Amino acid sequence: MKRWYEKSVIYQIYPMSFKDSNHDGMGDIHGIISKLDYFVELGVDVLWLSPIYVSPMDDNGYDIADYYQINPMFGTMGDFKLLLKTAHQKNLKIIMDLVVNHTSDEHIWFMDAINQPDSPYRDYYIFRENANNTPPTNQGSFFGGSAWDLTPDQKHFYFHLFSKKQPDLNWKNEHLRQEIYTMINYWLDLGVDGFRMDVIDLIGKDIEKGIIGNGPKLHDYLKEMYHACFKGRKVITVGETGGVTPEIAILYTKEDSEELDMVFQFQHIALDQEPHRDKWHLKKLDLKDLKRVLSKWQIALYQKGWNSLYWSNHDQPRIVSRWGDDGEYRIQSAKMFGALLHMMQGTPFVYQGEEIGMTNLKMHDLKDLRDVEAINMYHEKMKVWDESRVWDALNAKGRDNARTPMQWDDSIYAGFSDQKPWLNVNPNKDFINVKESINDPKSIFSFYQKLIKMRKECPTIVYGSYELIEEEHEQMFCYKRKYQNQEILVMANVSKEVVKYPYHLASYQLILSNEISENEDEFGPYEVRIYHKEG
């Protein structure tokens, strides 16, 4: 099975934190335009922009008040068109975030719905009569508390799976669905190359039956959307699907699915939380679990669907701080995780700053938090946990930690802006920044450049089968990719100990590594090696 984007690597831009061009401490579209050559140099070919639509920014733009307008904080429609044009001239594609499970409560549809009892938009949302001030179901919000809140007149409850300023849309309403498809086509006709679809697996929910993810009508809606919007267009669609299993992922992404090109699965990133608890209940990662989960996805989707590959994004901690070592072995562990991911089958995503090994910013003060989820969590958990546990959890999993401004250089605001940014800069910009990295052949940036180039040149990485070596090893993560008479062997030590690991390497040729151990049978802390074999 061949797909036109199969060799692509996608770079996620978090616009608020990428590059400020107009001196307000907030990233913007002109900032992105000014850095397009940076992506060309890195070698990625698709840019995904987190939302830049008009929004009161309760959830940093994932609460959209107008799907057709650019948020003035990021620029104008003219700026966006210039971004598209300039990016396309450089052979870079642009995909936008599509947030259609919910809108902002400041969207005209919702305002009309709550202000006029006979509003045509009332059925665009999910309302229930208020009986006894008791929420209609005990569904919780992902951001804490009940998913139901009262309308201003207190006569009804409305449903919101995220913040109370993000009312859920009612996908059962056909007019709503058509409005969404019209909007998608508007952006596609403008030249946008596809979408990352926010929590798209929630649009088929059936609240009465208690079904939230992967609801009964979900796949019908996606097929309808495909026919109304994507069919015949050369675009990329990536669904964010939290509860997905490999079997369901195949339904979405098999070649004739007429649904999505790929989906984000969450199974690997759930491995460091206690089962059936919220994400703040921390648990140490067991490498064997990580190998099992990632290998399962590699094998299950092989020639049946298509994987997306990611470690980090604007919701997840940075991988180097999460499962690597962001101190002494930062460079080695960042490269090691990069290699493990980029040698797998699927489309890799690089989250801004990952390519220079940016780390989580640790916070200790409520006034430094910006994320609605983190602020809600702080207030809720302070009622039941002591403060140090709250901060430990926030510093491990809070979403602000990985949203800090991009570190371009070592100047006061890291070259992101000349004004105080909306979120603190990580002080390690003094030594972790693009300026330091870009011309250093030993940098993480140079290593990522090589990984990305290898995917473009080596069909084994794109098409090869996958085989895990030694499932039970506690420190080594090793796998093979095979295609025709070629083989790629990836060997990684995912620990800070030196590991003895003899392997018959005589017929292999080393093509990339993050350091050279003196002894071939021994792997230094976070050492990774990529070998090639022919025949």
246 in contact with ligand TEU (CB under 6 A)? no
340 in contact with ligand TEU (CB under 6 A)? no
Helical pair 372-381 and 387-397, crossing angle rounded to 10 deg: 160
Buried b / exposed e over 2-28, threshold 16 CB at 10 Å, is eeebbbbbbbbbbbbbbbbbbeebbbb
Nearest approach, Cβ of 212 to ligand TEU (angstroms)?
11
Nearest approach, Cβ of 143 to ligand TEU (angstroms)?
7
Alpha-carbon Rg of the chain, whole angstroms? 23
Provide the CA 257 distance to its chain's centre, in angstroms: 23
Residues 6+ apart with CB under 8 A from 23: 417, 418, 419
Given candidates 259, 261, 315, 487, which one binds ligand TEU under the rule CB under 6 A?
315
199 in contact with ligand TEU (CB under 6 A)? yes
62 in contact with ligand TEU (CB under 6 A)? yes
400 in contact with ligand TEU (CB under 6 A)? no
Give the Cα separation of 23 and 418 in Å (integer). 6
Give the Cα separation of 355 and 445 in Å (integer). 5
242 in contact with ligand TEU (CB under 6 A)? yes
Give the Cα separation of 103 and 106 in Å (integer). 8
Nearest approach, Cβ of 308 to ligand TEU (angstroms)?
13
Give the Cα separation of 116 and 113 in Å (integer). 6
162 in contact with ligand TEU (CB under 6 A)? yes
Residue nearer to ligand TEU on the CB measure, 99 or 356: 99
Nearest approach, Cβ of 99 to ligand TEU (angstroms)?
6
Site residues for ligand TEU, 9-28, by CB under 6 A, read none
Residue nearer to ligand TEU on the CB measure, 162 or 311: 162
Active site residue 198: yes
Given candidates 19, 35, 205, 279, which one binds ligand TEU under the rule CB under 6 A?
279
238 in contact with ligand TEU (CB under 6 A)? no
| C-alpha dist (Å) from residue 511 to 108, 464, 493 | 56, 17, 17
198 in contact with ligand TEU (CB under 6 A)? yes
Residue nearer to ligand TEU on the CB measure, 11 or 62: 62
105 in contact with ligand TEU (CB under 6 A)? no
Binding residues for ligand TEU, total number by CB under 6 A: 13
168 in contact with ligand TEU (CB under 6 A)? no
Amino acid found at 310: Y
Nearest approach, Cβ of 242 to ligand TEU (angstroms)?
5
Residue nearer to ligand TEU on the CB measure, 52 or 492: 52
Give the Cα separation of 369 and 398 in Å (integer). 9
Nearest approach, Cβ of 240 to ligand TEU (angstroms)?
6
Give the Cα separation of 195 and 199 in Å (integer). 12
DSSP string, 380-436: HHTTTS-HHHHHHHHHHH-SGGG-SPP--SSSTTTTT-SS--SSPPPGGGGTSSHHH
Q: Which string of x and - marks every residue 368-387 that binds ligand TEU (by CB under 6 A)?
A: -----x--------------
Residue nearer to ligand TEU on the CB measure, 169 or 494: 169
Residue nearer to ligand TEU on the CB measure, 162 or 195: 162
142 in contact with ligand TEU (CB under 6 A)? yes
393 in contact with ligand TEU (CB under 6 A)? no
Residue 172 DSSP code: T
Give the Cα separation of 476 and 288 in Å (integer). 9
Candidate list 63, 105, 198, 259, residue with the active-site label? 198
Candidate list 28, 63, 97, 240, residue with the active-site label? 240
| C-alpha dist (Å) from residue 408 to 161, 435, 442 | 36, 6, 18
In 203-253, beta strands by DSSP E:
236-240
Q: Are strands 499-500 and 509-513 parallel, antiparallel or unpaired?
A: unpaired
Nearest approach, Cβ of 316 to ligand TEU (angstroms)?
7
Residues 6+ apart with CB under 8 A from 442: 331
Site residues for ligand TEU, 81-100, by CB under 6 A, read 99
Nearest approach, Cβ of 471 to ligand TEU (angstroms)?
29
239: phi then psi, degrees, rounded to nearest 5: -95, 135
Q: Which residue is nearest to ligand TEU (CB)?
A: 62
Residue nearer to ligand TEU on the CB measure, 18 or 445: 18
Which residues belong to the active site? Answer: 198, 240
Question: What are the residues binding ligand TEU (CB under 6 A)?
Answer: 59, 62, 99, 142, 162, 198-199, 240, 242, 279, 314-315, 373
